[in-house]
Amino acid sequence: FRDTYLDIPFDVSEVLFICTANTLDSIPRPLLDRMEIIQLSGYTSDEKLAIGRKYLVPKSMEKHGLTKNEIKYTPAILRKIADEYAREAGVRNFEKSLHKINRKVALSLVENKMESLPVVIDEKLLLEYLGQPIFVEDEILKADRPGMAIGLAWTSMGGDTLIIEAQNTPGKGEIKLTGQLGEVMQESASIAYTYIKAHATEHKIDPSWFEHNAIHLHVPEGATPKDGPSAGVTMAVALYSLVTGQVMAPNLAMTGELTLKGKVMPIGGLKEKVLAARRNKIEAIIIPQFNKRDLDKLDEGLKKGITFHLVGSVEEVLAIAFPDDAKRPAMQPVAATAPQPNTSEIAAISAAVAQAVREALGGR
């Protein structure tokens, strides 16, 4: 290999190249085909805690000239930093938070502001050094109204939960999508809407409802671009919840690609999505049955406390999301009534027109 800038030949026949990327899309396909791909999942809270105690804390303390006799972190505080200040898939922000704390402690020691040693980092000091938590319990997503559903998504920074909202207004069956949705996600919304509309009668839904209502489907955090097919079943549940007026089962999240015939197809990034569900106190997750092998590979500690529902069709999804759906009465037909004219207004308008005509004709 001859370097372009140095113009010096190198023997690279025995060199092993290791490349990293957040997403495989960023690597040219011809190069990617010649690589062995090793995918690394995000860390759990327990894994972050272990990495922090064994590596990050000692490394940061040494960097800032601190010793064990001068500063002390408890496991509870390290977990709090990981959960409330550094929820990303890796530990980069976790390490930055430790650096920030250690810098301020080192400065206080130099200025002789510390009365006793070691400085034990507690919640009060954590708030003073790092400010208000970035992630708080109040931000846990809940689908507590008709037209809402909770989905699980994969991003380059790890797993994430997303809420999908649907609202109807008077219209003629239009559907509007907002929230910076990519083309694939827009297609998923269209598929979900078509399926619910096509199977309305089977679910005791009056088909004329779609003829007199327009639907607005929105995914919050509109400044963040979103794409991918795995939100298909979530969109179907949100639309079904809106049309039937039901609230989805609590503490439930879902992921899966939806086909036009109602099949639930496999998804990727299951571990990251389960991690995101745990952070949001999710107790049950709906996943495609094709992802059973991925589920079996997950650590038992990661799956503990979560019920997994393996499904193959959207009908199974709706049965889990709306357990009382069978007891729901059929919808009453939506009457297409034309607005009745107001006779008093018509009379007043006629009189005004007649008066204008008489004045124009000079009173004749």
Q: State the sign of the Cα–Cα–Cα–Cα dihedral 208, 151, 260, 314.
A: negative
CA distance 300 to 296: 9
**What residue ranges of the chain have pLDDT lower than 50?**
138, 336-340
Query: What is the rounded CA–CA span in Å between residue 238 and residue 147?
Result: 5
DSSP labels, 182-197: -HHHHHHHHHHHHHHH
Q: How far from chain centre, in Å, is Cα 90? A: 18
The residue from 230, 261, 313, 344 that is catalytic is 230
Q: Is 183 exposed, middle or buried (0-12, 13-18, 19+ CB in 10 A)?
A: exposed
What pLDDT score does 337 carry?
42
- Is 273 an annotated catalytic residue? yes
CB 143 within 8 A of CB 286: no
Amino acid 336: pLDDT: 45
Task: Quickly tell me which residue has 């998923």 as its tokens.
Answer: 188
Among residues 273, 292, 304, 313, the one annotated as catalytic is 273
pTM of this prediction? 0.73
Bridge pairing between strands 158-170 and 213-218: antiparallel
Between the alpha carbon of residue 219 and those of residues 39, 213, 233, 239, 255, the distances in Å are 28, 20, 14, 13, 15
Beta strands in 106-241 (DSSP E): 119-121, 148-155, 158-170, 175-178, 213-218
Using DSSP's 3-state secondary structure scheme, residue 6 falls into coil
**Residue 307: beta bridge partners?**
284
CA 230 – CA 225 distance, rounded (Å)? 15
- The pLDDT assigned to 342 comes to 59
